[in-house]
Chain A
C-alpha cells in the first residue's frame, strides 16, 4: 500500500514534469497550430506600437508583426499583441510567451549571446538622445552637468548615460522610471531637467505633447542603438522566417514593389529578383517551410519598408522622423537586404 502510493506519486510527478517541459516542437508549428502569432511590443509608444482610439494596435513595430503574421498564417490580423516593459520583454520571449519581440530593442552582443536571443536584423537604426525644455537655455548635452535626468530602468540607455557622463566628466542625478508614460509625466512636471531615451522614442514622445514646440531634442547622439526584432535562440528556421520577412520588406522598397503595384508586378514584372521575391519563379518560400506567396502577403499587409516608415513615423506624421540612416543603401542609408536567390 505504502509502496504503491509512493510509486503512484512518483509516476504522477514524472508525468507533470514532462508536461512542464513546454516548447516542444518548432515555433513555426506552434504558431500554425495556434493560428495566431504572439508578438511582444511596447506598452505604448506612439508611432512604434500603441493602441489607437478603437483599440487596434498600430505603429512601425506593429506593422512588422502584421507582415510576419501575413507571411506565416496568411492573415495580418492574426496577431496577438503582448505589451512588454523594458524589464519584462526578454523574459517574455525566452519563456515562450511571445514568438517574436518587436519592441525597440537594441541589438547588443550580450543580449545576442548571453541572453540567448537571436536578433534577426535591424528595422531602425537609432541612437540615444536628450530632450529638454527649450526655456532651459540648453543647446548641447555637454551643458547638462549636474542635471536631473529621467531614464527608463532596465534599458541600454541607462548604461550609455552612465558612460557618457563619466567620459565627459560630468555629474547627474538619475530618476529611474518604469515606463515611457511615467517618464513623460515626470518630465512634464519638471521633476527632471532632461529625458533621455532613443532619439526616435523622444520624437514619438514629444509628438504626443500638447506643446511639442517648447521642447527640443539636443543634437548629441551618444550611442548606437540598432533596433530590431528578436527571436529565441535555437530555432534557426523560425529565425530565418523572421529575418527574411524583414528583408523582404526592405528589398521590396529597393525594387519598387509597393502594396499598390504588387498585383501588377506579380503578373508583369520582368525583373528576375522581383519574380523570385514575389514567388512567381522558383520556390523560395518552400526552403523555410512556407508557401511561394509568403513575401507577397507580407508586403501587402502594410506595404514595403518605406511605406511602413512613412505611414507610422515618417515626416508626414506627427512624429516627423527623417529617413536618415534608415534610407536604402542606394540612397545613402544603411538598409541593405541580402539578395533573394
Chain B
C-alpha cells in the first residue's frame, strides 16, 4: 500500500497549490490570512502615523488625573476631586445597574408575554402579538426618547408638591412622589445601625446588608436540605411530609428577626428647598432607559419563549395530561424544562444586546460608561482613541462574562446525553 502511494505521488510543483485539491484549501487559507494581517497592519500603522502627525501620544495617564465633573447617580462615593478612573468605574456601575434591572424585568415580562401569546383566549393572545410587533419593530432609541419625554412633560415638577395648595400629591401613603425629574422613593432607616464594613477605596457595605444576604442565602440552603430530606422520606415511605411551612419559616423568619433587631423602617422623602431629600431619588433617565430596554428586549424574549414552547412536541403535553398532571404542572415539569434547552442560547444574545444597547443612555443624559468615560472624560481630556479603546474592551469583557455565565447555566439545562 505504501508502495502504491509512493509511486503515485508526483513530485511537488508550484501549480499544484491551485490545481491540486490537497493543497488548494491551504493556499486560500494562507492568502486570506495574509490579507487579514495586512489589513490589520495597515490600520495600526495608519493610526500610529496619523497620531504622530497630530502630535498626539497614546497613553492612559489621563485616567489618574482629577476628573473635575459631577455625576448625578453614584453607586460608590464620588466627588469631582476623584480621578477619571473612578468616574469611569461609576459609569460602569451605572451601566451594570440598568443592565441587570433590564435583564431581570425583560425576562419576566418576556416569559409572561411569550406564554400569553399561546393562550387559548383569542383576544389576550392577539393583544400580546400587538405588543410584540410594536416594540420589536421600532428603533430602541425612539422608545427611550419617547418614554423620557413623556415623563418630563406629563409628570409635575417637585414644586407642585409644595405648600397648602399643592397641585400634586404623593402616592402610597405619602411615601412615593412621581416628579418630572425623578421618582422619590423612601429609603431604609435603622434605629440600631451596626456600622459598615470598609473595603478600602471608600467602598463600604453596611453590616446589616451583609447580615440579610447571609440570612437569605442560609435560608435557601436550609430549604434545599429540607427538600432533600422530604425526598428521602418519600423514597423510603412513599408519603411526602408537608414541608411548605418549614420552607417558609427558614426563608422569612431570620429576615423578620433581623428587621426587628436593626429597627428597620421606611424613611419617606420630604420636599426641602428645590427638591425631595431624605429619600432615594431614582432619576427619570434611569427609569426611562430601563423601561425602554425592558419593553424592547421583552418583545424579542417573548418570541424566543414562544418558539421554545412550540418546539416541544405536542405528544409530550398529551402524555402528561394522560398521566393526570394538571396544566400548570405540565408546564413546569414537562414543557418548560425541555423548552429551556431551545430558549437559553438565543436568550444569551438578548442579554448581551440589552447590555450593549444600554449605551444609548447618553440620549437621556444617564451617565453610564458611555456618558462618563466615553463622554465627559473623553471631552475634557481629548483622549478619543484611548477612551474608545478602553470602552470597547470593557464592553467586550462584560459581554464575555455574561456569555460565560449563561453558558454554564445552559450546560446545566441542556439535554443530558448519556
CB distance from A19 to the nearest CB of B (A): 9
Q: Which residue of A has the minimal Cβ distance to B274?
A: A147
Point out which of B41, B68, B69 has the most chain A C-beta atoms below 10 A from its C-beta. B69
Interface size class, chain A? 35 or more
| B133 at interface by CB-CB < 8 Å | no
Find residues 1-15 in chain A having any chain B CB closer than 8 Å to their own CB: 1-2, 5-6, 9-10, 12-13
Q: Is the CB of B181 within 8 A of A175?
A: yes
Interface residues as binary, A1-42 with B (CB distance below 8 Å gives 1, 0 otherwise): 110011001101100110011110000000000000000000
Find residues 133-188 in chain A having any chain B CB closer than 8 Å to their own CB: 144-148, 153-155, 158-159, 161-163, 166, 172-178, 185-186
| A325 at interface by CB-CB < 8 Å | no
- Which of A86-94, A215-223, A249-257 touches B? A86-94
Q: Is the CB of A13 within 8 A of B38?
A: yes
Q: Is the CB of B72 within 8 A of A146?
A: no
Give Cα A111 to B380, complex, Å: 9
Interface residues as binary, A36-70 with B (CB distance below 8 Å gives 1, 0 otherwise): 00000000000000000000000000000000000
**Given A20-B50, A114-B382, A191-B180, does the pair A153, B375 have CB atoms closer than 8 Å?**
yes
**Given A116-B54, A146-B275, does the pair A166, B80 have CB atoms closer than 8 Å?**
yes
Q: Residues of A contacting B71 with CB < 8 Å? A: 174
A21's partner among B18, B46, B55, B375 (CB-CB below 8 A) is B46
Give Cα A5 to B153, complex, Å: 63
**Given A146-B277, A166-B80, A191-B157, does the pair A91, B384 have CB atoms closer than 8 Å?**
yes
Give Cα A214 to B266, complex, Å: 39
Which applies to chain A's interface (DSSP): helix, strand, loop or mixed? mixed
**Given A1-B17, A193-B274, does the pair A175, B375 have CB atoms closer than 8 Å?**
no
| B308 at interface by CB-CB < 8 Å | no
Q: Residues of A contacting B70 with CB < 8 Å? A: 158, 161-162, 172, 174
| A272 at interface by CB-CB < 8 Å | no
A153-B376, A190-B180 known; 14 other A-B pairs, CB under 8 Å?
A9-B35, A12-B38, A20-B50, A86-B379, A145-B273, A148-B181, A153-B365, A153-B375, A158-B376, A166-B79, A176-B375, A189-B152, A189-B157, A191-B180
Q: Is the CB of A115 within 8 A of B49?
A: no
Q: Residues of A contacting B56 with CB < 8 Å? A: 116
Query: In the complex, how many residues of chain B place their beta carbon closer than 8 angstroms to a beta carbon of chain A?
Result: 53
| A212 at interface by CB-CB < 8 Å | no
| B400 at interface by CB-CB < 8 Å | no
Q: Residues of B contacting A153 with CB < 8 Å? A: 365, 371, 375-376, 379
Give Cα A255 to B266, complex, Å: 72
Q: Is the CB of A5 within 8 A of B181?
A: no
Interface residues as binary, B163-206 with A (CB distance below 8 Å gives 1, 0 otherwise): 00000000000000000110000000000000000000000000
Interface residues as binary, B223-237 with A (CB distance below 8 Å gives 1, 0 otherwise): 000000000000000
- Which of B26-34, B98-106, B297-305, B404-412 touches A? B26-34
A23's partner among B31, B53, B371, B378 (CB-CB below 8 A) is B53
| A78 at interface by CB-CB < 8 Å | no
Q: Is the CB of B273 within 8 A of A178?
A: no
Q: Residues of B contacting A174 with CB < 8 Å? A: 70-72
Point out which of B79, B274, B275, B380 has the most chain A C-beta atoms below 10 A from its C-beta. B274
